[in-house]
Amino acid sequence: MEPVWTYSSLRSFLPFCFLSFILYFDFGGGVMVQAFIGTFGVNYGRVADNIPTPEGAVTLLKAAKIRNVKIYDADHTVLQAFSGSGIDVVVCIPNENLIDFSVNEERPLEWIKVNVQPFLPDTHIRGIAVGNEILGGDPNIAEALVGAFKNVYSSLDRLQLADSIEVLTPHSLAVLGSSYPPSSGAFQESVLPFMLPLLEFSSKIGSHFYINLYPFFAYKDDPDHVDIKYTLFQSNPGVYDAKTDLHYDNMLDAQIDAAYAALESVGYDKMEVRVTETGWPSEGDENEAGANPHNARTYNFNLYKRLLKKKGTPLKPKIPVRVFLFALFNENLKPGPSSERHFGLFKADGSVAYNMGFTGLRSSDGSSSLLSLKGIGSQGWLVPYSFVLSACAATLLMVLTT
């Protein structure tokens, strides 16, 4: 039976329409303000002199339906390119700024006024990373982390942005003194003087625990004893944790749960763990076992499929794993071993590094792709919002003419 639209029922629908208009225009087309939409994002590094323009990067991200991106600075050209894209962006305050930011409350305020506030709301800046992998490194910067972190949040609060922009800091796996089996996860004693006040403040403001995890490095360092299938999300015997009676069929889940165990050991069992970096290189030096296109594709594709299921870990099955994959492009100027320059989903010319179902700016034979910002912008994400607006407008017209 078809529904009958009465005058009263149409009028009752108007508040929803009004709210839809408010949400649409206030948040640039997004219905909800979130620090991380869905479960999958990507790191957009630019330590290269041959990668596509920021506009090209936005094209690739939109074509792949990737809604979250993290950059390692707050470059104005990049932030402008993301304007109107609907993609949520995490920007980063470089490590070298932290000491100054920790002792001078006005410095982070000035930084946000210059590098964040002017781009809102058209560019969806949803997070500010205060440095990267600070703890366990330079002790001078480690001492500055908590003060800088608090001052960045205070600055956002003064600008009335604290409710829409999360303050975070990514850690390396090195902050854990033990991680195997997962239930033995515990923080390094040397980082506890800085980690504990950081966790206390993060808990108060609702920030999450962010960590960079790379099963590739565990395999590369000990290929004779680490099962590569366990690192690549393939069928394998897995690992049994007797303390928790939990079984792990992949290393990333085990590493995440080791972080959860470390948090629980210091009283923060309710804090969510999110992965700010993980990935697998498609090329490496002779001594970098496993660095090849097949393994890179296997790891990233299997991880991507897993994230789409919005599953949790064995220890936290109800909390979906959220991951920023590393990285969008191969970066030819990165120092270190060859693998560091080959973590990209896409090559420098914008073609795919391997088949994950994504479409590149160029095909594998070097010809131009049909992708364009205009074409992508006219479909996909904008369709639901156009439908909502059109439906509300039609409803309003029916009510007014009844």
**Buried-exposed string 33-58: b where 16+ CB fall within 10 A, e elsewhere:** bbbbbbbbbbbbbbebeebbebebbb
Under 8 Å CB-to-CB from 33, ≥6 apart: which residues? 27, 126, 163, 164
Choice among 166, 277, 288, 331 that is catalytic: 277
In the block, residue with structure tokens 């600075």:
73
55 among known catalytic residues: no
- Residue 219: which of 246, 247, 250 has the closest Cα? 250
In the block, residue with structure tokens 């980063």:
92
- Residue 58: which of 41, 40, 72, 78 has the closest Cα? 78
Instruction: Using alpha carbons only, give the angle 101, 102, 108 rounded to the nearest 5 degrees.
Output: 30
Longest alpha-carbon distance in the chain: 77
Q: How far is CA 239 from CA 99, 102, 236, 247, 253, in A?
A: 42, 42, 9, 6, 11
96 among known catalytic residues: no
Choice among 2, 110, 133, 288 that is catalytic: 133
- Catalytic residue ranges: 133, 277
